[in-house]
Amino acid sequence: MRDRLILLPGWGLGVSPLQPLAAALQGLDEHLHVEIEPLPELESSDLDEWLDELDSTLPQDAWLGGWSLGGMLASALAERRGDRCCGLLTLASNASFVAHEHWSSAMPADTFDAFLAGCEADPRLTLKRFSLLCAQGAEDPRGLSRLLLGGAPHTTASVLISGLQVLAQLDTRQALQSYRGPQLHLFAGLDGLVPAEAAGELLALLPDVEIGLIEQASHGFLLEDPHGVAGAIQAFLHESGDD
């Protein structure tokens, strides 16, 4: 269905951060059905199990999108579905969240390992730290952090940890190159989790897809300016739908 968009949230903070964006999109186009689907609550860190769960529960023949981890999972699922996915959009989603020799614009591996260890030791404190990182670079970082944390669900520690383990192993470069549908990838210039340089690195990998950089924005830019982000997404959907 070309009038159906499924959005997947990021790690740990639930569906709340996507709700203002979904409302803004609905306001721009009454014919567009936007659905926010929670991430799987699996204690397994097997990526195929996560994708199987999403593939079995999400509607077919829809646009797929997501924020951060959600965008990475949407990318992997788009490759799996091929023609059964109308198109793909990601928000502050890196091709690889953790840096490696083939993808340098990402979080250093030792920083991520320390973050994972922190989550194993104190999940609630780690989630608070994560919300602060999401808000880093925002006009009102403390306010945005409180907003993000306030809507976070009470997820078990084991599910939070497995989500981080999935995040660490995801590398969507091949998926993004293989998927032939329309793609839009939006990055933030002041992102504390996904370096702005990732936008340029992705453009070098995918010269024929739409990649945007919102200069003065944080990882949580979809909450900072939901109407602006919705406008960019709507333009992409309409332009791609006319092809």
Alpha carbon distance, N-terminus to C-terminus of the chain: 15
Instruction: Transcribe 164-200 into DSSP letters.
Output: HHHHHH-B-HHHHHH--S-EEEEEETT-SSS-THHHH
Q: Which of 75, 145, 185, 191 is catalytic?
A: 191
Catalytic residue among 68, 93, 145, 218: 68
Cβ neighbours for 112, distance < 8 A, ≥ 6 positions apart: 97, 98, 168
Nearest to 36 by CA among 50, 49, 26, 28: 26
Q: Is 55 exposed, middle or buried (0-12, 13-18, 19+ CB in 10 A)?
A: middle
Contact 85, 179 (CB under 8 A): yes
Q: Which residue has the tokens 């944080």?
A: 218
96 an active-site residue? no
Q: Is 162 helix (H, G, I), strand (E, B) or coil?
A: helix
Active site residue 219: yes
Cβ neighbour number for residue 238 with a 10 Å cutoff: 12
From the list 93, 96, 131, 219, the catalytic residue is 219
The single-letter code of the amino acid at 155 is T
Q: Is 31 a catalytic residue?
A: no
Residues classed as catalytic = 68, 191, 219
